[in-house]
A and B are shown apart, each in its own frame.
Chain A
């Protein structure tokens, strides 16, 4: 199993109280693979259902964001490799 990697970047280094702060996390893991499973059910007479697709992730990654000032960071988006979080300064 590979070790994941992560980088984090804030939208600014100094914020005015009340400003929106954005945190962009870029992350990956060599083992993590998205995959799509396509299922077709066939009965004894050879009748097949329409294909159904489901997605899964091998070795999924979990992100946790903490702030030592106690601010709460809320996830805005996450596409599996880049996640954006938001908090108020």
Chain B
């Protein structure tokens, strides 16, 4: 770590000496996600893509590397950093039932998920394993099954618990017929995340394992509620997502919004953690020239990292949903160019 030494000397030779240390960072990792969790190898080939976001449900019997996803092992062994989003959300049928399975020598029966999330009016509310089910130990089998698979993967990953707690809780949650407000859901989630962290950290994990908790980062109060220092002391990263969905949205404004809230509201432990942008994207409906917007991202990230507060160390483009690249070839070319630019190199 380089050190600057400052000496002040007066006319008589009396001196005062002080020092300041600084560190030099690694380049920011430019990363990707391809719609449907599909094989992104072809899109990433030839570009400086160094990280990848993936989504798995704890309900799935194939969490690591995922069902029919041998390419994930190849990319991971080639050094691509994996941000594995593990969700209590059930991706499948609304009537998901209980599961019985064996992990190593232990037999488990995990009950049906008892919670609904993302309760947007007029939509079908997805099911999820409930925060009470987690803290009561009823989901231990799911954790054990995921860990057993993880141990055979061959490399360490970041485990991001939940995709976006704010999206999950925005309209409240319901578990076992009891309704919880957004704020109550956040508090319950923090307890469940702590339980899961305790469970994993009590066991042997592959080298390089890190943890974070997922949020969209669009609500300041929720961001603060879900990042207490007691939780952050057990996490390795801050995380939020950044989307441009309005013609007036600049890369700098979108990447900085949640950072500004973090700097204003969070404690020193949280602010000591680097930031993973698990998803970023630009919506073509409002910003048809996606390549031009993507081209502004490196300078925005560099500027934010030059300011005080937590540093962004990984940004994964979400080529799906809001971020769908259209036309695809031009968008991918823009990503390649961006990731070949400082601070990504």
Contacts and interface: CB of A to CB of B under 8 A. Distances in A.
Interface string A1-36: 111111111111111111111010101010110000
A8 B22 contact: no
A15 B9 contact: no
B226 to A, nearest CB: 25
A27 B8 contact: yes
A4 B329 CA distance: 63
A89 to B, nearest CB: 6
A29 B4 CA distance: 21
A3 B11 CA distance: 10
Given A1-B10, A16-B306, A27-B8, A21 B22 contact: yes
Contacts of B18: 6-8, 25
Contacts of A10: 4, 20, 22
A2 B10 CA distance: 9
How extensive is the interface on chain A, given as a class? 35 or more
A10 to B, nearest CB: 5
A68 interface: yes
B9 A14 contact: no
Contacts of B2: 67-69, 71
Given A15-B22, A17-B24, A4 B8 contact: yes
Interface residues of B, number: 33
Contacts, number: 119
Contacts of B5: 65-68
A25 B8 CA distance: 10
A14 B24 CA distance: 5
A39 B261 CA distance: 58
A16 B260 CA distance: 20
Given A14-B311, A16-B302, A73-B4, A4 B10 contact: yes
Contact of A12 (B7, B15, B306): B306
Interface string B303-318: 0011110010000000
A24 B12 CA distance: 24
B25 interface: yes
A17 B219 CA distance: 33
The 9 A-B pairs at the shortest CB distance, nearest first, are namely: A69-B2, A6-B8, A4-B8, A1-B12, A6-B16, A8-B6, A8-B20, A4-B16, A3-B14
Interface of A: 1-21, 23, 25, 27, 29, 31-32, 59-69, 71, 73, 89
11 contacts: A11-B308, A13-B23, A14-B25, A15-B22, A60-B10, A63-B6, A66-B4, A67-B4, A68-B5, A69-B2, A71-B2
